[in-house]
Every structure is written in structure tokens, then in C-alpha cells.
């Protein structure tokens, strides 16, 4: 089974703090993703990475950065957290290579509250 693990399930941070969300997958997947999910807006892609040290902006990258130093690990960074970044953050990975390799597997999610 694919296992995608997010380091923190629930976090509460103060406005202006730097926040790190860590994600690890154990299936040697090429692609990794960070989404956020908000009521009525669905899942929105923040950043994705298709290889180590490679990253591409998704639909809503503003206020976020990412790091992929190792294949299995993909970190999401909020340089200066703001209240509008209160959300559920979902990390995901996929094998890559097209077709069914695009099947995305999600971690359990991280609920971030910025106060």
C-alpha cells in the first residue's frame, strides 16, 4: 500500500510565524503535490514537484514555497503565516509516467489554524 505521511495533523500558529509542513512518501513516487482544501472551493493545487529539486507552481502559489531535497520528502513552507492561510493542507504523491501513473494518493491532511 502507498503510504503518504504528513508530520502534523493539527497546528495552531500565530500570524507572521514561519510554518513548515512536512510530507514523506514511501513508494518511490516521482511526483509530489501540495493542495489546500477549503469549504466550497474544493482542492486547489499550491505547488507540485516531478523530481528532486524541481518544482512548479500550481493554481495558488502566493504566500507559499516548497522544498524537495530528497525524492521521498516534500515540504511546504509558509514564510509568514496569515489568517487567510487557515485551511486543511493535503500532501499527495503519484508514480508518474502518465495514464494510471497519475493516480494520486493522499496523506491524512494537516489542519492549520493561523490566529
61 lies in the site for another protein, by CB under 8 A: no
Which segment (18-26, 39-47, 61-69, 78-86) binds another protein by CB under 8 A? 39-47
105 lies in the site for another protein, by CB under 8 A: yes
74 lies in the site for another protein, by CB under 8 A: no
- Residue 106 CA to residue 93 CA, distance in Å, equals 7
40 lies in the site for another protein, by CB under 8 A: yes
Tell me how far apart the terminal alpha carbons of the chain are, to the nearest angstrom.
37
In the complex with another protein, which residue's Cβ is closer, 78 or 107? 107
Which segment (18-26, 36-44, 62-70, 71-79) binds another protein by CB under 8 A? 36-44
In the complex with another protein, which residue's Cβ is closer, 17 or 58? 58
Amino acid at each position: 500500500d502507498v503510504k503518504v505521511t504528513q508530520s502534523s495533523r493539527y497546528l495552531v500558529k500565530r500570524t507572521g510565524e514561519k510554518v513548515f509542513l512536512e510530507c514523506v512518501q514511501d513508494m518511490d513516487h516521482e511526483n509530489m503535490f501540495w493542495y489546500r482544501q477549503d469549504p466550497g472551493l474544493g482542492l486547489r493545487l499550491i505547488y507540485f514537484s516531478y523530481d528532486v529539486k524541481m518544482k512548479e507552481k500550481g493554481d495558488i502559489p502566493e504566500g507559499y514555497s516548497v522544498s524537495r531535497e530528497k525524492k521521498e520528502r516534500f515540504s511546504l513552507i509558509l514564510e509568514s503565516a496569515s489568517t487567510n492561510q487557515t485551511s486543511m493542507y493535503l500532501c499527495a504523491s503519484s508514480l508518474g509516467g502518465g495514464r494510471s501513473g497519475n493516480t494520486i494518493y493522499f496523506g491524512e491532511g494537516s489542519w492549520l489554524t493561523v490566529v
